[in-house]
Amino acid sequence: MEEVMNFIMRAFELAKDHEQELPNIANNPEMLFSSIDEVEKAFSSAKERLMMMLSSQHDTTTTTTTKGSNSFAQILSHDVFMQNNHDHHGQMGGSGNSMHAHSMNQLLLMQHSFEMLRSRGTLMIGEMGGRDVEGLEISKGLEGEMQGIEESPSRPKKSSRKNDMEKRTEMFPAPQIGNTEMPPEDGFTWRKYGQKEILGRKYPRSYYRCTHQKLYLCPAKKQVQRLDNNPNIVEVTYRGEHICHKSLTAPSSYPPPPNLLVNINTTQATIPPEAWPPAVNLGLRGGNSSGGPSTSRFGIDYPVADMADAMFNSGSSSGNSMESLFHLSDDKWEPDEKIN
């Protein structure tokens, strides 16, 4: 295990090094490619060894509640949970290895986030035909709310809780490092607007809405709640669909690149290149990201996690996924989030 962690830590270090060099090599695609290739190989080595290790030792039956099946994230999550719940887990147990657990969990979160993104992106493609209608209906609902606000002299009328907003619940592994209350990365930017103790629940429920709710009237919301019997799992309830990314100027919430989708299901229709948000900021942000403590950003930035995902899923010898990230950098799409 130590060896695996060394590979992982090495990969992270490489990524950080390249982040510092990025401004100098930003205009040199060859240098960029070789830098990424280096990081990719480091991650690939770690992945391969980890897979070998897991295949030889992973003999327990998993009853995890996390989303997806037989995924890398799931395997990892199981190990992380095993370690947390039973501190005697063979190679990883013991407080002295907390850093290892943290790195493992980082990997888990990274991987899981992108599984989410992919699944969501695939869904969007599949449902592309109906989205406009759905979005229109939601907009109408909001229009009604706005009218209500105008009519109400004091406090705006609130939307009915029994609205027709689609509701779906998903389980995620909870972050165990840093701000453990931070909701899992799911590719959208969220703003917390409330937290409430729920009767009969051990942990408070947090309420989030799309950051661009006001700007684009995006109705998407989500509730985040830890499970009573397993704080390592958070239950995320999504309500409403994002419509902000449908705006040409909307700064966030784009589906994952088409070629990543192909990795999941090659029979899925692919998004035409021109539909994909082009501006790729390759800022490999470290732990001290400036995005704010509980927001997650995918739309315009591709942090380390993005690259790691491409590495984890591209195979050790193929550079396609990474290329896919860089191909996008030619277009001219300017984030306007900070302009206002």
Beta-ladder partners of 169: 237
Part of the chain binding DNA (CB under 7 A), chosen from 207-215, 244-252, 263-271, 273-281: 207-215
Cβ partners under 8 Å of residue 41, min gap 6: 316
Q: Contact between 158 and DNA (CB under 7 A)?
A: yes
The span from the first CA to the last CA of the chain, in angstroms, equals: 48
Beta-ladder partners of 209: 191, 221
Residue closer to DNA (CB basis): 118 or 209? 209
Tokens standing for residue 322:
């990474």
Chain positions 222 to 241 lying near DNA, rule: CB under 7 A, are 223
Interacting residue with DNA among 86, 88, 155, 332 (CB under 7 A)? 155
* Residue at token pair 């491409």: 310
Least distance to DNA, CB of residue 303, Å: 16
Residue closer to DNA (CB basis): 64 or 211? 211
Q: Contact between 253 and DNA (CB under 7 A)?
A: no
Chain positions 321 to 340 lying near DNA, rule: CB under 7 A, are 338, 340
Task: Tell me the number of residues near DNA by CB under 7 A.
Answer: 37
Dihedral sign, Cα of residue 97, residue 102, residue 106, residue 112: positive
* Residue at token pair 């992919």: 118
Order of all β-strands in the sheet with 221-226? 167-173, 233-239, 221-226, 205-210, 190-196
Residue closer to DNA (CB basis): 317 or 340? 340
Chain positions 185 to 204 lying near DNA, rule: CB under 7 A, are 189-201
Q: Which helix (H) or strand (E) holds 195?
A: strand 190-196
Q: Packing angle between helix 72-85 and helix 98-126, nearest 10 degrees?
A: 140
d(CA 19, CA 22): 5
Residue closer to DNA (CB basis): 173 or 240? 240
Least distance to DNA, CB of residue 118, Å: 24
Residue closer to DNA (CB basis): 253 or 321? 253
Per-residue x/- track, 280-309, DNA (CB under 7 A): ----------x-xxxx--------------
CA 68: distance to chain centroid?
Answer: 14
Burial class for 290, CB neighbours closer than 10 Å (0-12, 13-18, 19+) = exposed
Interacting residue with DNA among 30, 133, 153, 162 (CB under 7 A)? 162
Evaluate whether 270 touches 291 at the Cβ level (below 8 Å): no
Least distance to DNA, CB of residue 233, Å: 18
Evaluate whether 261 touches 118 at the Cβ level (below 8 Å): yes
Q: Contact between 61 and DNA (CB under 7 A)?
A: no
d(CA 312, CA 69): 17
Least distance to DNA, CB of residue 181, Å: 6
Interacting residue with DNA among 19, 137, 170, 181 (CB under 7 A)? 181
d(CA 147, CA 241): 21
Evaluate whether 6 touches 42 at the Cβ level (below 8 Å): no
Least distance to DNA, CB of residue 161, Å: 5
Least distance to DNA, CB of residue 126, Å: 27
Q: Contact between 168 and DNA (CB under 7 A)?
A: no
Residue closer to DNA (CB basis): 100 or 221? 221
Q: Contact between 211 and DNA (CB under 7 A)?
A: yes
Least distance to DNA, CB of residue 127, Å: 23
d(CA 88, CA 106): 21
Least distance to DNA, CB of residue 232, Å: 20
- Residues forming the site for DNA (CB under 7 A): 154-162, 181, 189-201, 205-207, 209, 211, 221, 223, 290, 292-295, 338, 340
